[in-house]
Each structure stands twice: as C-alpha cells, then as structure tokens.
Chain A
Amino acid sequence: MAPIGKLYGHPRQPQTKAILSAAAISGLEIDLITFEFGVTNKLPEFTQNFPLAKIPAFEDNEGFKLIEGTVIARYVSALVPKAGLLGHDVKETAEIDQWVHFAESEIYVPAANIYAGMVAKYLPAFSEEQRKHYQEREERSLKFLDDYLASRPSGFLVNDSLTLADIVLAAGVQRVGQTVCGAKEREGAYRHVFAHFEKVTNDERIKHLFGEPGFVDEALSFKAE
C-alpha cells in the first residue's frame, strides 16, 4: 500500500515510535524522514511548513499538516476505526484519551526531564534537587499506574486489546526504564508497569519499532565527586 504521508521524526524518539506503531497496527504506511538537527530544521521546505520547527511533524499526501506527537498518533488511529486503537464508543475513546494524556504528562515527562538533564545534558544546571523533584513525581504516578495495571485481567489499559493508550504508555515507560527505574524497581515495585511494557513491545507488528530497551541497571543518580 502507498504511504499516506511523511513524518519528520527520529527512530529513537518516543513520539515517533508511538506514531509509527499506531500506523503499523492500523495497516497504514508512513514515510519516516529522519530528522538531523542543524540540517533538516534549516531546510525551507521544513521551516515553511512547520514554523515551530519541532518533531514529530506530519504531512499527508494532500498537504494536510499536523504537529504534536500524540495528536498525530491519534489522527492516524482515527483513520482506521476497526483497528480499535481508539475504542468503540465515546466513553472508551475518552478513557483512552485520559490514559494517553496521563502517560505523557505523568509518566513520560518527569523521566524525560531527568533524561534531558543527566543523559542528553541539555538542561542547564540540572541538579540533584531537580532530579529528586521529578523522581518523586514519577514514583507517585508509577505506583498509581502499577496498582491499576495489577487490577486489569487483560493486562491492557482499556478494553481487552491493544489501544493507543498502551502504545503511548510503552513509549513513555521505555524512558522511565532508562532513568528512574533500575532492575530492582522494574522487577519489584513497578513490575506490572514493566510487564505491560514487555507485552506491548513484544507485539510482532511493532516490536521492530521499539528496538532495544536500553534500560539502566541502577536508577540514575549524581555520583559523589
């Protein structure tokens, strides 16, 4: 089948993974244009179409343009309702929206901030105090999430099959396992969260998009000098 459009993104970016996974499950193809910082964002065809100059950025074959990762993933999911990624009625869709939003703001963002501060190192003067603040926030959310997943007979967030919520959560949890949760936490306190991660990323249709988890053995901390 022909691609429905092109996506400026990066294979290692969680939002890109979520979009391409939604497409894969929906049986749709999207052309990934791997973004190169300093190159792609200087091309007029990019900056004129996407003035914010951030990725992911999507353009379909008719020139319809969209930014914001989870929004693109949701749009892709909406194109093929029978794939079930957005549920079957207004209530289910609302629950999926709820979990997508929660996954992004409460699970992904704190871990992403720690990642940006300590691994990618582009948050200035990122300190132990900040790390602690995000870690505490993250742990509160992980505990709530773990309890919820423990109560789910299907193991999925909504319904008994994979929805967009599971995909977006897994992409966010990957960052958590690279920062805030070492082996001890993944196998212990948050084992349901990481069991969910395994379940989603082992789906044959999207396995290749998630790649190696890249998890840390021990949660990141500032080593004493």
Chain B
Amino acid sequence: MAPIGKLYSARGMCQTTAIKATAAAAGLELEEPEYKHYEDNKKPDFLAKFPHGKIPAFEGANGLNLTEGAAIARYIAALSPNSGLLGGTIEDAALVDQYVHFAETEIHSSNELIYMMLNGYVPYNKAIHTVLTERQLRGYSTLETILLTRTYLVGERLTLADITIASVIFLSVSYTLDAPLRARYPNILRHFDLIINQPKLKEVFGQPTFVEKAVQYTPPAKEKKEKEPKQPAPAPAPKKEKPKKAEEDDEEDENLVPEEPKAKNPLDLLPKSTFNLEDWKRAYSNKDTRGPGGSLEWFYENFDKEGFSVYRVDFKYNEELTLVFMSSNQIGGFFNRLEASRKYLFGSMGVLGAANDSIIAGVLILRGQDVKPVVEVAPDYESYDYRKLDLENSEDKAFFEGALAWDLEIDGKKWQDGKNFK
C-alpha cells in the first residue's frame, strides 16, 4: 500500500507518537522524511507548504497540507473508518474528541510549560510551577476516576482517545508523573501499559522511562537564592540538559497490584492531648485576639506543648512577590493545598510591607512536634522555611502573638493582609 503522505516532526513529541500510533492502528503508512527542526522549517519549500513553520506537519499524497498534531491524528483516523478509532457513532466520536482535548489541555499543557521553564525557554517562576503542577494533579485525578471503571476510554476497543492519552502519559512518566504519584494512579498505569503493548503499537511507543522524582528546577550557579530544602533531600534532579532521561527504574514494579493509597496517618497515632484544635479554632474566631478574655489568653490556659507545637513560617522567595493581594492569594492557595491536614493544623499568615517590597510570614499551630508530616500534603510546602517557636522566649512569643493578632511587624514591614487556616 502506498504511504498516505509525509510527516515532518521530531521524535519525543507526544503529538508525533500519537500520529504514528494512529497510522499504525489504522493500517496506514506514513513516510518520515529526514527533517531537522530549526533548519528545515526555515527553508522556502517547507514554508511554502507550512507558512507557520511548526511541527508536526503533514503533507498528504492527495495534496492536503495539514498542521496541528491533534487534527492530523484525527484525519488519519477518519481515513480508516473500519478501524473504529473514532468510535461508531457521532456521540462516540465526540467522546473521543473530549478525551483528546482533555489530554492536551489538562495534562500535557502543564508538561510543556514546566519543561520550558526548567530548560530556560521561559523565565522560571516557582509559583507558576506550583500552579501548573496542581492543575496537572487535578487532571491525573480525574483521569484515574474515569479509568477506574473502563478498560478502554470509549466503547470496548482501542480508539484515538486511548492512543492520545497513552502518548501524553508516556511523556509524563518521564517527567512529572513520578514514583509517588504513579502509586496513587494505578488505573492510569494499567491503561497505559495496555495501550503501549498493543501489538501494532509497541514499536511506535518503545520503552517508557520512569522518573523517580519529578524533575526539579536547578537555578543557574550564580543565583544567590538558597535552594536546599531543610529536610534530607533525595538525590538531586537529573541534569538540566537531559531532562527527559531518568535513572533506570525497575519498571516492572510500577504495574503491580495497587497498594492501599491511604496508610494510617501517624498523627492519629500520637498519644491523646488535652489541647483541642477545634476548640482553639472556635476561640480564635469568636474572641478578640489580645486582651483579657481574648483568644491568646485562652490559648495559654489550654495549650499542650507536648501534643502540639508552634512554628514560624517564612516564604523563601520574597523577592518574587509583587502586588499585595496577589501575595495574599498565594497564601490562600497554599492553605487550600493544606486541606488534607485540616484536623492537625491551624495557621495565620500574612503579607507584610508594600507592593514589590513585601514578605510572607506567619505561624502554624500543629499536631505533634514535627512540621513536615503536617505540611508535606501541599506540593509547594518546600517554598517555605519552618522554624519551631519557643513560647517561653519573649521574641518568639511576640512574633506568635503578632501573627495571630494580624499586627505583626518585621524590619519595619507592617502587616497588610492575612489569611487563616482554620
């Protein structure tokens, strides 16, 4: 059979994988001429066909020139209706389109932007990295829920939806979908394994690379920003120039029967305490903070320093902060991501200073003596420094009270706006 056309693209792009897998599943042949990006796409004969100069680009044997990866894959699937790659009805086709679009916008777009930031194509921004990671988590979570009850995404056989999702996940597991996350999403991995091992597709996908820990940002050497987290960190992330490679992992283990995702929380196993966090939250909400009969007075009467601890929190990258309300939003976002620790935590944090000259600081009252188990539920917890406070020490005590009363001042920077986690 003659090739249906030529595909100009680069290996490693998930659109390319999806297009080639679609052609293989449809029993159609694609020619892949030699192509060097940044060189060939500047040449006049390429630009005459594809003026935007981007890949993938498809030159059909019938004269159709097409760009946009997803559109090319869909067209190839449409050329072979018997393959069932677009389902059997308009509704099935719409569901296929839905999953393709979802894969691109809810999962892959984060991979791309994170890649661009970590490799210097776009200025690195920790807050945005966090937002993208969070967004992607939501996408993975939804996908896991969908795949809980399905072998294939649409109907009972392979469609373009499965191929596209598998292509995106292939990239994700080498980059952002790391070992701890993969343990949470057994159905995503089960589906992934099924698709990349289909006889017609195995050769197109090849062997996936599984990253142990999601690729992190390593700042250029001359940066004075301190990056080492307080906790004993795992081995540093793979070198910047090879972001897609990972340590060889024992891939087979990833596909075992899923472990129970919710282990007993060690914080529930601590000895009973006389300090009741919910009572504290009520006292804080209903009373004035300072003064007689205030919540601070209540706190000192009731606090159990064996069962609970008080920590100071400081944002690590205050030089990045701009407008006050945006910094305030950032605190809100951090608190949202601490939701899983609601039973173990109270927080009062704020923005001090003025626009472009501000800091984020505050306090946490938490179960136990170690901050890490309580805050590590938030993916961005390492953006903050934590220091246990000693309320017998007058400076620590003043800081604690100021953070609760929202009148804290640090180095001349006055409290502007605050948020409570309660």
Contact = CB atoms under 8 A, between A and B. Distances in A.
The answer to whether A and B belong to the same complex is yes
A183 interface: no
Interface in B221-257: none
Between B75, B320, B321, B330, the greatest number of chain A beta carbons within 10 A of the residue's beta carbon is seen for: B75
Contact of A97 (B62, B71, B321, B322): B71
B98 A148 contact: no
A75 B356 CA distance: 47
Contact of B70 (A78, A97, A130): A97
A225 B127 contact: no
A199 B406 CA distance: 55
A71 B145 contact: no
A35 interface: no
Contact of B74 (A64, A97, A127): A97
B304 interface: no
Main secondary structure of the interface of A (DSSP, over half): helix
Nearest to A137: B122
B101 A98 contact: no
Contacts of A124: 127-128, 130-131, 326, 329-330, 333
B94 interface: yes
B93 interface: yes
Nearest to A101: B68
A133 B91 CA distance: 38
B138 interface: yes
Nearest to A81: B90
A184 B80 CA distance: 47
Interface string A93-117: 1110110111001100000000000
Interface string A117-138: 0000111111101100100000
Nearest to B130: A124
B106 interface: yes
A147 B51 contact: yes
A125 B51 contact: no
Contacts of A79: 90
Contact of B94 (A66, A123, A127): A66
Interface in A40-83: 51-52, 64, 66-68, 70-72, 74-75, 78-79
A125 B68 contact: no
A95 B97 contact: no
Contact of B125 (A64, A127, A144): A127
Contacts, number: 115
A90 B326 CA distance: 48
Interface string B121-137: 01101011011000000
B127 A125 contact: yes
A146 B66 CA distance: 18
Contact of A51 (B74, B125, B142): B142
B106 to A, nearest CB: 7
B356 A225 contact: yes
Interface in B55-77: 60, 62, 64, 66-72, 74-75
Contacts of B321: 125
A91 interface: yes
B79 interface: yes
A91 B97 CA distance: 17
A74 B94 contact: yes
Nearest to B106: A52
A95 B78 CA distance: 13
Given A94-B75, A144-B52, A125 B101 contact: no
A144 B51 CA distance: 7
23 contacts: A66-B94, A67-B98, A68-B101, A70-B101, A71-B97, A71-B101, A72-B94, A74-B94, A78-B93, A90-B78, A94-B66, A94-B71, A97-B68, A97-B71, A98-B71, A101-B68, A101-B70, A101-B71, A102-B52, A121-B329, A124-B130, A124-B330, A125-B128
Given A52-B106, A106-B52, 19 more contacts: A52-B102, A52-B138, A66-B95, A71-B101, A90-B78, A94-B64, A97-B68, A97-B70, A98-B67, A98-B72, A101-B71, A102-B68, A122-B329, A124-B131, A125-B128, A125-B326, A125-B330, A127-B322, A148-B51
